[in-house]
Amino acid sequence: MFQRRTLIALSAMGSAAGIAAPSILRAQATWPDRPIRLIVPWAPGGSTDTIARLFQPRLAAVLGQPVVIENRGGASGAIGAAEAARAPADGSTWMFQYDNEGPNQTLMRLTYRTLDAFAPVSLVATGPLAMVCHASTPFRTFRDVVEAAKREPDRYNYATSGAGGLAHIATTLLQQQNGFKLTHVPYRGGGPAVTAAVANEVPLFMTNVVIVSQHIRAGTLRPLGVTTRTESRHVPGAPSFAQQGFGDFEAPTWWAMFGRAGTPQPILDRMHAALTQVLREPEVKARIEEQGCDIQASDPETCRRFVANEIERWGQVIRDNNIRADS
């Protein structure tokens, strides 16, 4: 009796699958058949938003559907990421995320785990973080900042795009390893932070180069050091922290595209192919790279390995140094 019931159940499941399969295949074959929602977990004006809007029009053209950017800022990118993690895995919603996703996994109590909730599509770009100061300050190198901070601990403020992000963690690590103290002023994204830095509301700003490149060129903000191992072509004349005597310090920034885990593979493949095509177009590539980063346009597995390594690497730094989101 058990075997007969099992066979009947399996037969029914097979029939249902047979009915559903053509509709699933049709959905995959016709994707995208509606506007695409692209969640950017940051406020308008930040680097993630800036880069997304540079490739958005061409991505929409290649896919044949509008790509609608939805800014969901807050909690160092975690609020928007949590929203994306709740989206259906049908290719209707995607996420373009920033490097904070790495340390967030250790610092925050999240409702999702990045590599369980999301399917990496591409490591889009990488670049340096830079410590910049307002042109009115006396600092010329980061060594000047360290010496001033040692004389007067906690007097000097530095801004970042949010508590717990890579810029915050990197600066905290620099302080802990070199015996000086700055006061952290977190903002709700890079857009508000760069506005404050340009207005000289805060004298120092640790950030990716994308949102400050035009202000560096204009002379409003002065670069004091970069987090790549050596000098970056995107910030000529600014030595790396390692070159200024801060050990082998390195903390590159990155941006990546994710789909929901469970999205049908043909849809993930189509998005990857379209995004790669767009990022390699000379005009798009040049416009993004002139902001201060390097296009990677990686395959999904390279992106997965990179993000996994960033989560582990910065998680270890956070644990070893007892770094907190409010430090």
Which CATH number does the domain housing residue 85 bear? 3.40.190.150
* Gyration radius of the chain's alpha carbons: 22
Within a domain: residue 17?
Answer: no
Within a domain: residue 5?
Answer: no
Q: CA 184, 187, 193, 196 torsion: positive or negative?
A: negative
Query: Is the pLDDT assigned to residue 184 strictly greater than 80?
Result: yes
Query: Is the pLDDT assigned to residue 2 strictly greater than 50?
Result: no
192 with 107, same domain: the answer is no
Nearest to 92 by CA among 264, 256, 297: 264
263 with 309, same domain: the answer is yes
What is the DSSP secondary-structure string of 176-211?
A: HHHT---EEEE-SSHHHHHHHHHTTSSSEEEEESTT
Q: What is the pLDDT of residue 26?
A: 53
pLDDT confidence of 264, banded at 50, 70, 90?
very high
Query: Is the pLDDT assigned to residue 1 strictly greater than 60?
Result: no
**Residue whose tokens read 């009115």:** 136
- What is the C-alpha separation between 319 and 327, in angstroms, rounded? 13
Within a domain: residue 24?
Answer: no
Tokens coding 57: 């029009």
3-class DSSP state for residue 233?
A: coil
Query: Is the pLDDT assigned to residue 283 strictly greater than 50?
Result: yes
Query: Is the pLDDT assigned to residue 28 strictly greater than 70?
Result: no
Within a domain: residue 139?
Answer: yes
Q: Identify the domain boundary among 226, 243, 272.
A: 226
92 with 71, same domain: the answer is yes
If one compares 324 and 247, the residue with the highest pLDDT of the two is 247
Within a domain: residue 26?
Answer: no
Helix axes 47-63, 190-198, angle to 10 degrees: 130
Q: What is the mean pLDDT of residues 243-272?
A: 96
Q: Which residue stretches of 31-137 are H helix? A: 47-63, 78-85, 101-107, 114-117
Query: Is the pLDDT assigned to residue 253 strictly greater than 70?
Result: yes
Within a domain: residue 84?
Answer: yes
Domain range enclosing 170: 129-226
- What is the C-alpha separation between 35 and 30, in angstroms, rounded? 13
104 with 114, same domain: the answer is yes
pLDDT confidence of 29, banded at 50, 70, 90?
confident
Q: For the ranges 124-128, 198-202, 228-232, which has the lowest average pLDDT?
A: 228-232
How many structural domains compose the chain?
Answer: 2
Residue 183: which residues within 8 A CB-CB, separation 6 or more? 154, 155, 156, 157, 158
Nearest to 122 by CA among 3, 10, 277, 233: 277
Residue 159: beta bridge partners? 185, 205
Query: Is the pLDDT assigned to residue 286 strictly greater than 50?
Result: yes
pLDDT mean across residues, the chain: 91
Query: Is the pLDDT assigned to residue 16 strictly greater than 70?
Result: no
Length in residues, the chain: 327
pLDDT digits (tens, 9 = 90+) for 81-124: 999 999 999 999 999 999 999 999 999 999 999 999 999 999 99
Query: Residue 141: is it exposed, middle or buried by C-beta count within 10 angstroms (0-12/13-18/19+)?
Result: middle
- What is the C-alpha separation between 148 and 141, in angstroms, rounded? 11
49 with 121, same domain: the answer is yes
Which CATH number does the domain housing residue 202 bear? 3.40.190.10
Q: What is the pLDDT of residue 322?
A: 85
Q: What is the mean pLDDT of residues 241-263?
A: 95
Q: Identify the domain boundary among 192, 208, 226.
A: 226
**Residue whose tokens read 């060594």:** 143
pLDDT digits (tens, 9 = 90+) for 292-311: 999 999 999 999 999 999 99
Within a domain: residue 192?
Answer: yes
